[in-house]
Amino acid sequence: MHIFFQDAASARAGAWMTVSLRAIAENYDLVAGLAPEAECAAVVKADAYGLGAEQVAPVLAARGAKTFFVAHLDEGIALRAVLPDVRIFVLHGFMPGCEGSMQARGLIPVLNDPDQVRSWKRFCTKNEQAFPAALQFDTGMSRFGLSSADLQDRAVFEGLNLQLVMSHLACADEPDNPANDVQRQRFVDMAAQFPGIPRSLSASSGIFLGPEYHFELIRPGAALYGIAPSEGNRMLRPVVCLDARIVQIRTVEAGDRVGYGLSWAATKPTRVATLGLGYADGFFRAQEGRGAVWHDRTRLPVIGRVSMDSISVDLTEAPADLEAGDVLSVLGSAQDVDALARSAGTIGYEVLTSLGSRFHRVYVPAA
């Protein structure tokens, strides 16, 4: 079970989020083991997918990760304060005029278009030093990166101190999608114009497509945090548990209604529990009529609308002696992050990165 009531703060809490740093470390090993020939970087953008970059990143570094990716410059600045010695790539590069903030912390911009390349080169020339940079290629997703046409003007890229060339797969979670191989081929062709520079194509799902997708560096994020790389893949350790205590229990009569809009009506006398988490905590409104919480192996459906700070659940199938203060599981062995996401019509990524800051957090140490 989890570590409840370690201190006064955990005793006061209405819900606890348990993050297993040990599971994250084990997932790093599992993913790195799939690509033994490649360097395994770690993606810790969005506060390590909502789990706390300050806690998570040092564990990954201790496990052997030497290269990290964040999305924004400010995320890089925060990460640098935690990890002074690792290599940090900033996926979005820099806003105009922010080259100095990047370089002063030893952060490496991913340059996504020719103007960014020119700005970085101007900055390097002014400082008489070729600071490291990475290039991203657009191989079909049309999101970030240089096009094949952009690569025609070779002079633009001369004099760069390139650490990495990279691209990103649009459909890697669908192993049979022909777009994967199309993007891979384009990536090989574009990278060939920068011989000797390490290449990176795959995030979590891409790593599972096989060795021809690994190149010299892999960039897992989600897999480290226990999100399955494709439907049904159960190889990774679950990382997050979320447990909520019952705030109140009532019995409603047939015909009574529950929640905003009075959208749910009892058809028989029903015990209803109110739990203290809601959409402000990342329990989505879309769970109305679909989502559930669990008592051991028993599914307890969410009834009525999800409020900002609370949900109501039907206790019909639960033991009769449940009372206020007892604990129900929102995320855990009965319902993982992907399952909770499915009932809200979304993906595990959105669930994890939405989990709020109001839960009492417990970190299970890596070792």
Q: What is the set of active-site residues?
A: 45, 260
* Separation in Å, CA 293 to CA 172, 241, 290, 340: 30, 12, 11, 9
Q: Give the residue with the Cβ less far from ligand PLP, 222 or 240.
A: 222
Two structure tokens written together for 112 = 């996504």
Give residues 21-60 in contact with ligand PLP (rule: CB under 6 A): 43, 45
Region of 215-223, 245-253, 283-291, 354-362 interacting with ligand PLP (CB under 6 A): 215-223
> C-beta of 86: minimal distance to ligand PLP in Å?
16
Q: How many CB atoms lie within 10 A of CB 251?
A: 11
Q: How many CB atoms lie within 10 A of CB 296?
A: 11
* Separation in Å, CA 313 to CA 248, 257, 317, 322: 11, 13, 11, 13
Element (H, E) at 135: strand 132-136
Q: Give the residue with the Cβ less far from ligand PLP, 119 or 205.
A: 205
Region of 51-59, 183-191, 214-222, 304-312 interacting with ligand PLP (CB under 6 A): 214-222
Q: How many CB atoms lie within 10 A of CB 3?
A: 11
Q: What backbone torsions phi and psi does residue 218 show, to the nearest 5 degrees?
A: -110, 155
Which of 168, 184, 295, 305 lies at the binding interface for ligand PLP (CB under 6 A)?
168
Q: Is residue 221 close enough to count as binding ligand PLP by CB under 6 A? A: yes
184 has binding-site annotation:
no
Task: Determine how β-strand 217-218 pairs with β-strand 257-258.
Answer: unpaired
Which of 73, 165, 203, 277 lies at the binding interface for ligand PLP (CB under 6 A)?
203
Element (H, E) at 12: helix 8-12
> C-beta of 305: minimal distance to ligand PLP in Å?
31
Q: What is the DSSP letter of 309?
A: S
Q: What backbone torsions phi and psi does residue 244 show, to the nearest 5 degrees?
A: -125, 145
> C-beta of 223: minimal distance to ligand PLP in Å?
6
> C-beta of 43: minimal distance to ligand PLP in Å?
4
CB 41 within 8 A of CB 217: yes
Give the type of residue at 328: L
Residue whose C-alpha is closest to residue 238's, from 61, 30, 20, 33: 20
> C-beta of 63: minimal distance to ligand PLP in Å?
16
Handedness of CA 149, 94, 40, 42 (dihedral sign): negative
Strands ordered across the beta sheet of 161-166: 42-43, 67-70, 87-90, 108-111, 132-136, 161-166, 199-200
Q: Give the residue with the Cβ less far from ligand PLP, 116 or 204.
A: 204
Q: Is residue 139 close enough to count as binding ligand PLP by CB under 6 A? A: no
Q: Give the residue with the Cβ less far from ligand PLP, 19 or 246.
A: 19
Which of 14, 220, 226, 259 lies at the binding interface for ligand PLP (CB under 6 A)?
220
87 has binding-site annotation:
no
Two structure tokens written together for 8 = 């006064």
Q: Is residue 204 close enough to count as binding ligand PLP by CB under 6 A? A: yes
Q: Give the residue with the Cβ less far from ligand PLP, 20 or 312.
A: 20
Two structure tokens written together for 352 = 């994890």
Give residues 88-127 in contact with ligand PLP (rule: CB under 6 A): 91
> C-beta of 207: minimal distance to ligand PLP in Å?
8
* Separation in Å, CA 91 to CA 50, 71, 322: 18, 5, 48
> C-beta of 124: minimal distance to ligand PLP in Å?
23
Q: Which residue is at the shortest CB distance from ligand PLP?
A: 221
Two structure tokens written together for 309 = 């700070």
Region of 32-40, 188-196, 218-226, 323-331 interacting with ligand PLP (CB under 6 A): 218-226
Which of 13, 86, 209, 222 lies at the binding interface for ligand PLP (CB under 6 A)?
222
Region of 53-61, 198-206, 241-249, 327-335 interacting with ligand PLP (CB under 6 A): 198-206
Give me the residues that bind ligand PLP (CB under 6 A), please: 43, 45, 91, 168, 203-205, 219-223
Q: Please enumerate, by residue number, every residue annotated as part of a binding site for substrate.
A: 143, 308
